[in-house]
Amino acid sequence: MKLLKIHRGFSLVEVTLALGIASFCLIAILGLIPVGLNSTQTAMEQTQATNIISNIIADMKQKPVGSTDEVTSQRFGITVPAGPKLLYFKNGGTTTSQGDARYKVKVTFTSTSVHDDRKPITGTIWVAWPAAAADGNEQGSVSTFFALDRN
């Protein structure tokens, strides 16, 4: 009677090939981690900037009853309408001095007529980070147009 040899397991060539494929896939996945972290950081910065813009617009929309002239907003001290206003914010969305700031905010009014009842007051809000960077050298920025119907 003849004995049959049954080989169980993987050969050295198969193991080497499997390890090569696995390491190639791992290197590709590890190469995507910095891209994912950068995208997440950018998304968080843009979300915070958008929240700051929303808070500023909500503050400027508040109008004391019976006021027809320029009004200064209660929370951020923005005179509506007036010249450009520069504000600085921390990460939590609270105002701060330029030294502690993460975000730089510039509020500019394009239409400043408070006596024409038919026209809204319009302008732009520009948020950039980091606040210490010179104009044009920021990591990112968000800008929006606003219209305030103060009637």
Residue with tokens 């209660």: 74
Distance CA 81, CA 6 (A): 89
Question: Beta 71-72 vs 103-111: how paired, if at all?
Answer: unpaired
Question: CB of 137 within 8 A of CB of 121?
Answer: no
Q: Which two tokens stand for residue 84?
A: 């450009």
Give the global pTM.
0.76
The structural domains of the chain, with segments of one domain joined by +, span 12-148
pLDDT of the chain, 151 residues: tens digit per residue: 677 777 788 889 999 999 999 999 999 999 999 999 999 999 999 999 999 999 999 998 887 655 666 788 888 888 888 878 899 998 877 887 888 889 999 999 987 666 666 678 889 999 999 988 887 788 899 999 998 876 5
98: helix, coil or strand? Answer: coil
Question: CB of 150 within 8 A of CB of 80?
Answer: yes
Residue 101: CB atoms within 10 A of its CB come to 19
